[in-house]
A and B are shown apart, each in its own frame.
Chain A
């Protein structure tokens, strides 16, 4: 589904190109759950943003293929229409736009892009009801302005609610566990697990292994200084939790 080959990406830092991703190779197949772990500043969020199409980053080398199509020239919304979803580490507050209307707009714009008619209001309501129950979201919450005044946990739950509504092929969860208490973590993980199927894939980006107790990865990758330096099964996450990253750094330097 997703094939990343030798991906290099930089950001313009006051006129100087600063290299962040330095040759990423990663392949995610349908039905798989991958986790990327790594210390702060290793490039985890950048990788997520580049795949989602953030224009501030410049891809200097390498390719990103999504279902065998090079997506480099596609805008963020076009990638979304093809089925890439990014759950934000810090979801953005949009005053004046209710959760419901935001979702309506997102779904209908996606349908428009695919040449489909707008979703009938009744169907939309049904879908919203169904998915909000899945994430245990109070109905009152849906008429509030998107993310405005939401707690950290509410914001993250809302991200997964949006994911449930949009049913992406590839969901990238960027630090979805940060700011979640244990109950919210369980609800979010439960939501992700219920949406998982053999036809879609999940990429979990995280600092800690605790989310991976609930969303069990098939593969764990360690990102250090813009490169994936180690890959393994879910046991690698436990090892990182126990021992930190220093031993990997030493291994890499050796």
Chain B
């Protein structure tokens, strides 16, 4: 039985276990129908031209993990940004772990999707926001159909959330292969500010496929800073679908630090529904081996006087492949849009590949849009220069690569994240350096 069939039959089982909730059941039924019609995306689709899911879909994934697995904080501490005080929402094999988490209902809700879905007091919110910005494409639909757990965050207006929120998904390897479909809903009301860190981590070498959906609503003048840390092992694959709906004067940024897994696809979509909105999409990709990372971004400028800034840096070694597909749509009404996009890549090996494709659809006539992509090698003259100063080849290379990606790190607002990423980069590049530039 292939994975699609397995999912379709599993849905019948899943549906039977659900509580009687006509609203949600309708949403789920529509979603599974959409998935059934479309199936998993293939390379024949333009948006998936350079990323094949075949190698990932052939595993026999368990859809509903059976066993609960107790994990102690010390075993997984290193995957947290543990040197900061933070709220934590932790999932083990898709199940919420209360003893590893730190949630709150004190003036705001930083808690669980399952709770928000089942309790009447959240009902209106769910009906207003759930699945309202996610697209009806096949993978988000698949997630919607099975959605039952994830993070639910609602920050009411005029609130500065003092501590960052860490959302962590662990898989234990209890099953030989597991498919996870976390679903996060994040609503930030007027004039509030939140910082969120998200990470998916496999704790074994068993196969994991995560098809995650995160919907973020940044309402009027809200500020959202979102950091995705992707540094999983070579049997873990991630399809991250993130949708951000911004209202007027809101500021949202997503930094994606992609150090891989087996296959990672980041579908990152921003919709600017209001004036004077600012959106930032930045990423650093450093991969090797046979890793594959695909950034597929969309910024949809719908109204006038908005800005978007995209800056993605990629360093590709060994047999790795990278994809950057950056789409910017500027509606006819969206005059005075400023949209910038840069994608710079270094190929460190002859066998590494990068496919980069800017896609601009501009219907307004008074806009500033710029895009640029580069693919290059490390500058040999710069290498020689550094070596004549006593910096060995490996360290010189690492320093150049770090400097190359530093533009992206410089806009990270939480110093501890910057330090952590710096450490991961040094590790990835095989050097023991601090790079305190």
Please say whether chains A and B are actual partners in one complex.
yes
Does A60 sit within 8 A of B, measured CB to CB? Answer: no
**Residue in B379, B381, B390, B402 whose beta carbon sits within 8 Å of that of A96 in the complex:** B402
Does B366 sit within 8 A of A, measured CB to CB? Answer: no
Q: CB-CB < 8 A to A97: which residues of B?
A: 399-400, 403, 437
Q: Chain A interface residue count: which class?
A: 20 to 34
Does A10 sit within 8 A of B, measured CB to CB? Answer: no
Q: How far is the CA of A93 from the CA of B387 in the complex (A)?
A: 14
Does A102 sit within 8 A of B, measured CB to CB? Answer: yes
Q: Does B385 contact A92, Cβ atoms closer than 8 Å?
A: yes
Q: CB-CB < 8 A to A92: which residues of B?
A: 379, 381-382, 385
Pick out which of these stretches binds chain B: A74-82, A218-226, A230-238, A246-254.
Answer: A74-82
Assuming the contacts A53-B387, A91-B385, A101-B436, asked whether A96 and B392 have C-beta atoms less than 8 A apart, the reply is no
Q: Does A105 contact B395, Cβ atoms closer than 8 Å?
A: yes
Q: How far is the CA of A166 from the CA of B388 in the complex (A)?
A: 11
Minimum Cβ distance to chain B for residue A168 (Å): 10
Q: CB-CB < 8 A to A75: which residues of B?
A: 387, 392-393
How does the 8 Å CB contact mask read for A79-116 relative to B, with 1 for contact and 0 for none? Answer: 11100111010011111111001100111011001000
Q: Does B404 contact A96, Cβ atoms closer than 8 Å?
A: yes
Q: Chain B interface residue count: which class?
A: 20 to 34
Does A54 sit within 8 A of B, measured CB to CB? Answer: yes
Q: CB-CB < 8 A to B404: which residues of A?
A: 95-96
Does B14 sit within 8 A of A, measured CB to CB? Answer: no
Interface of B is mostly: helix
Q: CB-CB < 8 A to A98: which residues of B?
A: 437
Which chain A residue has the least Cβ–Cβ distance from B380? A56
Q: CB-CB < 8 A to A85: which residues of B?
A: 388
How does the 8 Å CB contact mask read for B389-408 relative to A, with 1 for contact and 0 for none? Answer: 11111011001101110110
Q: CB-CB < 8 A to B403: which residues of A?
A: 94-97, 145
Which chain A residue has the least Cβ–Cβ distance from B379? A92
Q: How far is the CA of A86 from the CA of B384 in the complex (A)?
A: 11
Does A162 sit within 8 A of B, measured CB to CB? Answer: yes
Does B84 sit within 8 A of A, measured CB to CB? Answer: no
Q: Does A94 contact B400, Cβ atoms closer than 8 Å?
A: yes
Q: Does A102 contact B402, Cβ atoms closer than 8 Å?
A: no
Does A128 sit within 8 A of B, measured CB to CB? Answer: no
Q: Does B387 contact A101, Cβ atoms closer than 8 Å?
A: no
Q: Does A102 contact B384, Cβ atoms closer than 8 Å?
A: no
Minimum Cβ distance to chain A for residue B384 (Å): 6
Q: CB-CB < 8 A to B433: which residues of A?
A: 105
Binding site for A on B (CB under 8 A): 379, 381-382, 384-393, 395-396, 399-400, 402-404, 406-407, 433, 435-437
Binding site for B on A (CB under 8 A): 52-55, 75-77, 79-81, 84-86, 88, 91-98, 101-102, 105-107, 109-110, 113, 145, 162, 166
Q: Which 4 A-B pairs have the closest CB atoms?
A: A96-B403, A76-B387, A80-B390, A110-B390
29 A–B pairs (Cβ distance < 8 Å), ordered by A: A52-B388, A53-B388, A54-B384, A55-B384, A77-B392, A79-B388, A80-B390, A81-B390, A85-B388, A86-B388, A88-B385, A88-B388, A91-B385, A94-B386, A96-B403, A96-B437, A97-B399, A97-B400, A97-B403, A97-B437, A101-B436, A102-B386, A105-B395, A105-B399, A106-B389, A106-B390, A106-B391, A109-B390, A166-B390
